[in-house]
Structure 1
Amino acid sequence: MTIRYLAPLFLVFAAPSVGAHEVWIERDASGPARIYLGEPADALPVSGDPEFDHLKAPKLMPASKAALTRKAGYLEVNVPAGDVRAHDDTVFAPWGEATKKEGVAYYARAGRSEPRALMPMEIVPVAAGSDRFAVIRDGKPVKDTPVTVISPDKWSKSVKTDAQGHVAVPIREKGRYLISASLKDEGNFDTTLGAVSVLHSIATTTFVVD
């Protein structure tokens, strides 16, 4: 059964301006990284996603002073060889009732050479080059959580992490795969744009099968 893009659809109802958007990174070999905002299960418009202007200054991790260049639909940045990571909680301003504001934080990664997490939420390979990944939040694996896999031809499927927080990605063909997961937490959270009572964390990882 083919399942299309389930990861953050709850946001459609929570905040129409956020919709089902995700931030993800694409990188070919050791070339520049391209950081996107959009709906990865769908073909990207030539001029970029209509909400792309909300993506302004994602932070690279490790921190970098490399310049971000705005292109048609993505931000481009030259980074050292290896896996690329970026996070951003300023894409969409908090929304909702004054007493229960909601916010969203994006965590994006490209590559599967490093089996470790550097960001508060990250989807990491369990071993270098592995097709098995773990959803990690605050250094700990997250079990029984949905993960969406999108193949190079836009086929997609939702699977759940196991008791160890791991999930196997079904490899169908050569090309770029994208994995995404989302978590919703209630409490008191400080974001760059202000305090919120509900925080949606959305992580993506892309990797290329040659």
Structure 2
Amino acid sequence: MKKLVYSMLLSSIAVVSVNAHEIWLELDEKKNEAKLFFGHFDGKQTESGEKFARIKEGVSYPTELVKDVKRDDNSITYTLSKKSDIAVVRASEPRKARNSEIVEYRIAYNKAGRTSTEAIVDFDIVPIAKDSNSFKLLFKNEPVKKSKVTVISPTGWEKTFELDDKGEFTIHTPWIGKYLIQASFEDETKGEVDGKTFDKTIHSISHTIDVNQGLPWNTKK
């Protein structure tokens, strides 16, 4: 029976296995800390050494939440002053897009937790209610409508969910473990940062949530 349930869930939820690298946060509320990783979220494989050294610590939100930051060989640990959702924002220098003269300014948001129903960064995924599986995607507190988000489950499979005209969406979390929700948004407003002009800003977010009820999943081979 258990094998049948797994088979049915895999056929209905899984669509494509993920091969790309991701950067994500994992929140440990018992220790009041969050860890930033770089690697393959689907296989829980993290990069270290020179590859990870290129990842910046970023700026954390809410402000004054983080009281200490420690870098290890394959992670960055943010010690928190209290239990809270956390987001880390990292911006890159404006540069031309591949095969284009358009100059892009890229801002990456890494978030963990789903207790706060208020946005804590400019581009944010917030739950409709605390610990809910229904969310809304916001840019500067305005809903991003008719867009899409991608969810990677603990099993290593991904599924795309569409946002409605309120910028809201509901995901399925049948397995126990960590899920990664990803979304992006392009702001066509021109601007300047550190004396460098850009034609548009590409915002991307990776939001990790923990699910404690459901089917167990063992990633060990």
TM-score (norm 1): 0.81
Change in CA separation of 1:127 and 1:28 when aligned onto 2, cut-off 3 Å: same
Please say if 1:70 is aligned against 2:71.
yes
1:81 is aligned to: 83
Alignment check: 8 A CA contact 1:112 1:207 kept: yes
2:159 is aligned to: 157
Change in CA separation of 1:194 and 1:39 when aligned onto 2, cut-off 3 Å: farther
1:29-69 CA-to-partner distances (Å, cap 9, x unmatched) read 2322002344534542452783x323223111122362321
| Distance in 1 of aligned mates of 2:162 and 2:35 | 28
CA RMSD, Structure 1 to Structure 2 (Å): 2.5
1:2 is aligned to: 15
Alignment check: 8 A CA contact 2:24 2:36 kept: yes
> What is the percent sequence identity of the aligned residues?
26
Within the candidate set 140, 143, 150, 1:141 is matched to 143
Q: Secondary structure at the match of 2:16?
A: coil
Gaps of 5+ in 1: 7-19
Within the candidate set 161, 168, 171, 1:169 is matched to 171
Alignment check: 8 A CA contact 1:108 1:205 kept: yes
| Letter in structure 2 aligned against 1:122 | D
1:9 is aligned to: none
| Letter in structure 2 aligned against 1:195 | T
1:34 is aligned to: 35
1:14 is aligned to: none
| Letter in structure 1 aligned against 2:136 | A
TM-score (norm 2): 0.77
Aligned residues: 194
1:112-145 CA-to-partner distances (Å, cap 9, x unmatched) read 1111102110011011110011111010111111
Normalized per residue, the structure richer in strand is 2
1:57-95 CA-to-partner distances (Å, cap 9, x unmatched) read 3111122362321123221010121211221113xx332
